[in-house]
Amino acid sequence: MRLAELTALCADEKLWDNPENAQKLLSERNNLESKLQQYDNFVATLKDYVEMIEFAESTEDETMLDELLKNMTALQQQVKYAELESLLSGEADANDAYLEVHAGSGGTEAMDWAQMLLRMYERWAENHHYKVEIIEETEGDVAGMKSATIKICGKNAYGWLKSESGVHRLVRISPFDSNARRHTSFASVGVYPDIDDTVQIEINPADCRIDTYRASGAGGQHINKTDSAVRITHIPTGIVVSSQTQRSQFQNRDNCWKMLRARLYEMEMQKKADAAQAVRDNQGDNGWGYQIRSYVLQPYRLVKDLRTEVETSDCKAVLDGDIDLFLSAALAQKIKDDSINQKDGQR
């Protein structure tokens, strides 16, 4: 059993002779222990429910029986979620994630849509007890925002959210149109893993342009009086990262280097998967490029993922962060595709 093997390795007196390896072993052991504990909890809960259902049936307690059946359905969903989560085996799936949102075609409408999307992901993170850090946010000219970058911290944050990269399309009656006409807006989302110092990503400082500027704010006392905001442009790839939420220019600069490393790492991962061109297309024309999901609020209500065909009419729940339906379907689809590709490669 792998857990017994890891426990023996972690008990070795020479474990910390190699701190990097020790940390990996401890992390793997803790992860396995957590999964086994979760499995034991599921089994114990199921046993309790079965016993209580038998009691409710014997006493003909319909109210208790209905409540237990609801609990069983909820448990089934939790087990299904845990089963999918156990398949997050990518190199960086367990890591924290940087999530960027950029308003696309549609002017003020698109900026408002970008802010709605950011709120959706923040709500999702909160619902899963992840920590959210705002790295950068550029307000819109009239409403909403032009762009924003947040860091979502928690186990498997990147693994769950990586499928959200792409263009998101909104159709609704515009609150900014006095004639109440229907508008179509676009915003793009990019998700990248936060990588630690053990991953070697070489960045030549000569390939980067570093700009400093005053952080934007709501006005008055919130406007920064010094050039504390930092923007780094990686000239060979055209990648641009920025940070303005920290008071110190040093802290913002450090954030930028971390994000740049994450973006370059993600690019290398995509190249290995022979998908670099697809990623560039996704982030290309932020309007008529590759759309991954449509959110239609008028004339009917429907959120539909164009890759998995999964859809729901509960638009309010989705925009309030209930996107697990889409994340789970995307993960299941990827696992299925990887399995097919592996079989094809063995022929």
Euclidean distance between CA atoms 233 and 239, whole angstroms = 6
What residue has token string 């000239």?
Answer: 235
Contact by Cβ (8 Å): 319, 116: yes
Per-residue model confidence (pLDDT) at position 270: 74
Within 10 Å of residue 257's Cβ, how many Cβ atoms? 17
Spatial CB neighbours of 42, under 8 Å, sequence gap ≥ 6: 75, 78, 79, 82
State pTM to two decimals: 0.72
Say yes or no to pLDDT of 218 above 70: no
Residue 54: both structure tokens together: 């038998």
66-80, 190-204, 224-238: segment of lowest average pLDDT: 190-204
6-20, 228-242, 255-269: segment of lowest average pLDDT: 6-20
Contact by Cβ (8 Å): 246, 135: no
* pLDDT tens by residue, 23-70: 778 877 887 888 888 889 999 999 999 999 999 999 888 999 999 999
* pLDDT tens by residue, 104-121: 977 899 999 999 999 999
* pLDDT tens by residue, 286-330: 555 568 999 999 889 999 999 999 999 999 999 999 999 999 999
Mean pLDDT, all residues of the chain = 84
Say yes or no to pLDDT of 214 above 80: yes
Pairing mode, strands 291-296 and 166-173 = parallel
What residue has token string 């950068």?
Answer: 136
Percent of the chain with pLDDT over 90: 50
Domains and CATH numbers, the chain: 2-85 (1.20.58.410), 97-339 (3.30.70.1660)
Euclidean distance between CA atoms 306 and 290, whole angstroms = 10
* pLDDT tens by residue, 117-133: 999 999 999 999 999 99
